[in-house]
Structure 1
């Protein structure tokens, strides 16, 4: 086994771990840390985060599906009872936008919202977008092919997912750059490096984002179109329509989740493919090979690393006694490296056919946009490598300091 990463201290007897989430030795190459955790204590108490974390595949997979854990806790207990602080006034707009988020709520509200949105994202519906996604990828490559080099995130990866999710919802293409700005500020709330400035920026983004979505809702109420926002406004579930606040929350979460992770994954996938030194044409020789390659890139360099859950009752997991109201974290990206499920887990093997990766989660909160993300990756990666034979990394990429997301600052390519 490789030496213990310098950023990591493990006490196997107590399963306590000290790890600075801001240390580039960690977020720059988290897989080495995850491998050490699998070796010494797959379930551990992260001292700096003051929380229990699970990395084992079977534990993560089971806890994502276990209804004794939830994304909410205040539907069954008060803040006072749990010792939770009161909402902070400077985050009022952010909290309002999150109040009805699909990612944050539990049944029955979750069931109602998800049912109204789900139809648009099932595989057979998104499959119709393949020609549009391919056309967009070809057009973008046309724009930089003759240059012999490009920074792939800004010229390609940033543009495709945000354009496609915006078109599905019914937002014009020209809003793309503004949506990216709002989204980057908004997701700053989920990063380990969060500062007071990040919080203020997220709250402002939530307010502006919500105001824009409300203006769109008013337009679609008067003149519905063939888009997801019109569908959400005018469709009812068991006699109930979505409220304006629910429409705003759902639209924001679809826009953020519908592109942020996929941007990172396109960059991560291209990097891992090029750094592997393996013959690229083999990886994309047919549809089945392409799918295996994409799944393997999502396994070894997932864009979203952590999902949190509240314990809704007293419960014991892996010898850890959890009380109602305790928060636990599940490291999806580490579960994807569990050596009991994956042979040579740190090695990129595009022909791998082992356990399914957990990068999209599991259970009722399984990523609703998974079919769209998979379609985008399976469509644009083969096009990129076919159009630009001889593609290579021109400058060593640096990983963004945005843990628990995992993505690149820039990806400089040449051919």
Structure 2
């Protein structure tokens, strides 16, 4: 093994074997140096602890996300028996049911049908109409703490904006926001490294309660449609088909979870990045163009979601690695954003950077459907925050959550 300057990372470039403890605080607090070492020595590697091949190169990740020889599901082309896949676990029955028709987990033609029905609400021209509402929510939140001279930003601001907006779009009352956050936090523990049996039990319970609640709202929208996304999904046909109850539940849950979880992290990550780099907010947010570039650079250098996985749908070779049908492969989106072959001086925060798109929202048919909404929320919220609170500074060293492969803060204590 080649020992890097990082004590938690060992790389053998010849065999492309890497040992890296994803639960090591020195790693998950700041994964970027490890990603830089991987780019330098072994951008495609077998992660010993995870027992899977990982890709970090921008071109490889970008191509893999679009490669139809790989997919998010596998049981539509092979059986569990053929693949040697274990049977579903009884204690995850509710979670598995809620995920069964998730947009994140499906392949065409089911994915195409569900995404077509939902997509209309998330196209940029529809999302842009939400700008005044997003701005009003930001100002209302800041009004509550501006005079205090200090705030914990995630609970007082970042948690509120995305969950309120996605809930309103779908047709869920604002008052449900705190409960949605509790369900979502339990739910996403299923995707963390080192999840426990307790995490699984809590996620299954959250999925059961979340599903029951959504079924109740669906019944209301069947009886009395409103001008919201859930009513649209309930009553709109695609090629003569309405969504089933189970499809509606899965789709609503994934939109609510994905519609806020990553954006909460990204607001915190972006504010921290800007403040720690001593950047001048007046320059960063001088106009729409500089704001947009600042947001994209924050997304590039401090992405909220780091890993996505795919199954090989057929026998395939990529970067000299042979994958058999049913084998999993993973891409580190956040590392692809730091590829020195794509971005010059990639570990440096450069808000005027103009070197192409980051991969924080993915690519291909599973490109994040909520990306236009998340981008708009960031482009509206960050300038308002820094304009309303001049002299904003970090009061207490931020603590990063032990939730790899998500990347976000436990809290962000600010003062002004």
TM-score band by shorter chain is over 0.9
Question: Conserved in 1, the CA contact under 8 Å of 2:300 and 2:359?
Answer: yes
CA distance in 2, matches of 1:297, 1:267: 10
CA distance in 2, matches of 1:216, 1:409: 32
Contact in 2 for aligned 1:69/1:310 (Cα 8 Å): yes
SS of residue paired to 2:349 = coil
Quote the Cα distance in structure 2 between the aligned partners of 1:281 and 1:384.
12
Task: Report the Cα distance in structure 2 between the residues aligned to 1:4 and 1:197, rounded to whole angstroms.
Answer: 35
- Residue 392, structure 1, aligned to residue 388, structure 2: no
Offset at 1:277? 1.0
Tell me which residue corresponds to 2:411: 410
Superposed counterparts of 1:287-366, under 5 Å:
287-366=288-367
Which residue number corresponds to residue 135 of structure 2? Answer: 134
Q: Cα offset for 1:355?
A: 2.0
Residue 88 (structure 1) aligns with: 89
Decide whether the 8 Å contact of 2:16 with 2:44 is kept in 1.
yes
In the alignment, structure 1 residue 264 sits paired with structure 2 residue 276: no
Distance in 2 (CA, whole Å) between partners of 1:5 and 1:356 is 29
Match of 1:166? 167
Name the structure 2 match of 1:224. Answer: 225
Aligned to 1:11: 12
The answer (yes or no) to whether the contact 2:4–2:10 under 8 Å persists in 1 is no
Corresponding residue for residue 198 of structure 1: 199
Q: Aligned partners of 1:287 and 1:194: how far apart in 2?
A: 41
Count of aligned pairs between the two proteins: 414
Find the counterpart in structure 2 of residue 371 from structure 1: 372
Q: Please give the per-residue CA displacement for 1:322-341, whole angstroms capped at 9, x wherever unaligned.
A: 11111000000000000000
- 1:278 match: 279
In 2: Cα distance, 1:4 partner to 1:15 partner = 18
Match of 1:109 in 2: 110
Q: Which runs of 5+ in 1 are unaligned?
A: none
Instruction: List per-residue Cα deviations over 1:53-106 (Å, max 9, x = no partner).
Output: 000000000000000000010000111111110000000000000000000000
1:3 CA displacement: 5.6
Conserved? CA contact 1:17–1:45, under 8 Å: yes
Retained in 1: the 8 A contact 2:4–2:11? no
| Matches of 2:225 and 2:279, distance apart in 1 | 49
Give the Å deviation of 1:180.
Answer: 0.1
Rounded to whole Å, the distance in 1 between the matches of 2:257 and 2:16 is: 35
Tell me the secondary structure at the aligned position of residue 118 of structure 1.
helix
Q: Which whole-Å CA distance do the structure 1 matches of 2:260 and 2:286 have between them? A: 27
State the TM-score, normalizing by the size of structure 2: 0.99
Contact 2:122 2:373 in 1 (8 A): yes
Q: Is the 8 A contact 1:70 1:106 kept in 2?
A: yes
Q: How far does residue 140 in structure 1 lie from its aligned partner after superposition?
A: 0.4
Cα distance in 1 between the residues matched to 2:39 and 2:4: 14
CA contact (8 A) 1:193 1:403 kept: no
Cα separation, 1, equivalents of 2:345 and 2:399: 25
1:4 Cα offset (Å): 2.4
**How much has 1:279 moved relative to structure 2?**
1.4
Query: For 1:69 and 1:143, how far apart are their aligned partners in 2?
Result: 48
Check whether the contact 1:7–1:20 (CA below 8 A) recurs between aligned residues: yes
User: Take 1:222 and 1:312, find their aligned partners in 2: how far apart are those partners?
Assistant: 41
